[in-house]
Amino acid sequence: MSRAPDPSTAPQRVVLITGPSGAGRSTAINVLEDIGYEVIDNLPLSLMPRLIEGPAHDRPLALGIDVRNRDFSVDTLWAVLDALRAHPRTEPQLLFLDCSEEVLVRRYAETRRRHPLAPDEAPVDGIRRESGLLVPVRRRADILIDTSALSPNDLRTELAGWFAPDGTGHMGVTLQSFSYKRGLPVGLDMCFDCRFLRNPHWEAALRPLTGLDPAVARYVAGDQRFDAFALQLAGLFDLLLPGFRAAGKAHLSVGFGCTGGQHRSVAVTEWLAAGLAERGWQVSIRHRELERRSAAEAARGQERDA
């Protein structure tokens, strides 16, 4: 029988919650408070190091971060995150609550609120301004939850699965695809190289597609080495995940890389995520290079509209 982790030596969980206004940050803060987190909303980023260096807290922390704070900047947020990751007594996670522009506009129309970044303009102007500020934050998030199709109750259930205390929730697993050309994603616990699989880039019909397309997924799975790799990978995670959970780990981040981060790593990430979800694990998926491309296309579209 495995021993429970010693609470006096286990690192303290610190969840930083952010995202566009209207995406559910306040709901998330309330949910985490209900399940036992000590919550501080809109704490200036400059004060966070002082909070962590103080006396140890007997509960995990949830810190709401708002781009409207006077000292907010992406560089300051990265400095805080890096300091938390380097601190031996903290285990930080960045939770990003996202939402589509269409749904955010509808929510503002229903509540008749002014957007904080566009008090004298149409809400959509503030939404786009804020989304532009948060693009790099979204890319680096440990956990990304899209609330576009979620009711408050749905979001509560999703958050409880990720963050409920041991025994009432699940260990969260984030699987992320990436390109080695851009370096490893920050905060990975482990990483797998998919460049040994045959590359759809060299097939003209598949080159413009991604690992999300069935044709690419079939091509990657058709490699003679894929079945053996998939079998070993599934067996490894069947061994590791229960062990990490028994050791008290709340979140595991795993990367899959390939040359461009468009085909093989995406296909493998999607395949493993589906299998883990079928076995009851709480899985979040990130495709770093696809998100970068989508953000660049959205920015170009906004420039054309302007």
State the CATH number of the domain containing residue 141.
3.40.50.300
Give the contacts of 165 (CB within 8 A, at least 6 positions apart). Answer: 35, 36, 60
Query: Average of pLDDT values for 244-270?
Result: 90
- The distance in angstroms from the start CA to the end CA of the chain is 63
Q: Which of 102, 132, 163 is the last residue of a domain?
A: 163
Measured CA to CA, the distance from residue 256 to residue 18 in angstroms comes to 26
For residue 39, tell me if it sits in a domain: yes
pTM: 0.60
Please tell me the predicted confidence (pLDDT) of residue 202: 96
Is the same domain home to 132 and 268?
no
Domain membership of residue 149 as a residue range: 12-163
**196 and 289 co-located in one domain:** yes
What value does the mean pLDDT take over residues 73-77? 85
The total of structural domains in the chain comes to 2
pLDDT at 183 over 70: yes
Whether 157 and 187 share a structural domain: no
181 and 289 together in one domain: yes
Give me the sign of the Cα torsion angle 186, 154, 172, 93: positive
pLDDT of 70 > 80? The answer is no
Residues 158 and 103 grouped into a single domain:
yes
Last residue of a domain, one of 163, 187, 208: 163
Using the predicted structure, report yes or no on whether residue 166 has a pLDDT greater than 90.
no
- 193 within some domain: yes
- Judgement on whether residues 183 and 287 belong to the same structural domain of the protein: yes
Amino acid present at 54: G
Q: Is residue 304 part of a domain?
A: no
* DSSP state string for 104-172: HHHHHHHHTPPBTTBTTS-HHHHHHHHHHHHHHHHHH-SEEEE-TT--HHHHHHHHHHHHSPTTTS--E
> Do residues 152 and 204 both lie within one domain?
no
Domain for residue 96, yes or no?
A: yes
- Range from 147-151, 257-261, 298-302 carrying the lowest mean pLDDT: 298-302
| Co-location of 32 and 152 in the same domain | yes
Residue 5 within a domain: no
pLDDT at residue 54, as a whole number:
65
Do residues 24 and 156 share a domain? yes
Copy the structure tokens of residue 3.
């021993």
Q: 206 versus 140: which is more confidently predicted?
A: 206
Q: Which of these three, 163, 183, 218, is where a domain ends?
A: 163
**Mean pLDDT in residue range 275-284:** 88
Q: How far apart are CA 46 and CA 79, in angstroms?
A: 10
The predicted structure's pLDDT at residue 106: 87
Given a contact cutoff of 8 angstroms between Cβ atoms, the answer to whether 14 and 56 are in contact is: no
Edge-to-edge, what's the strand order for the sheet holding 251-258? 190-193, 251-258, 172-179, 282-287
Q: Mark whether 210 and 260 lie in a shared domain.
A: yes
Same-domain check for residues 122 and 185: no
Residue 282 within any structural domain of the chain: yes
Q: Is residue 59 over pLDDT 50? A: yes
Cα distance between residue 94 and residue 16, in whole Å? 5
Is residue 301 included in any domain, yes or no? no
Do residues 23 and 139 lie in contact, with contact meaning Cβ atoms separated by under 8 Å? no
pLDDT above 90 as % of the chain: 31
How far is it, in rounded angstroms, from Cα 138 to Cα 78? 12
Across the range 132-159, mean pLDDT stands at 84
- Residue range 3-56, pLDDT digits in tens: 444 545 567 888 999 999 889 888 899 888 878 888 888 888 888 777 777 666
Same domain, 47 and 18: yes
Q: Is residue 77 part of a domain?
A: yes
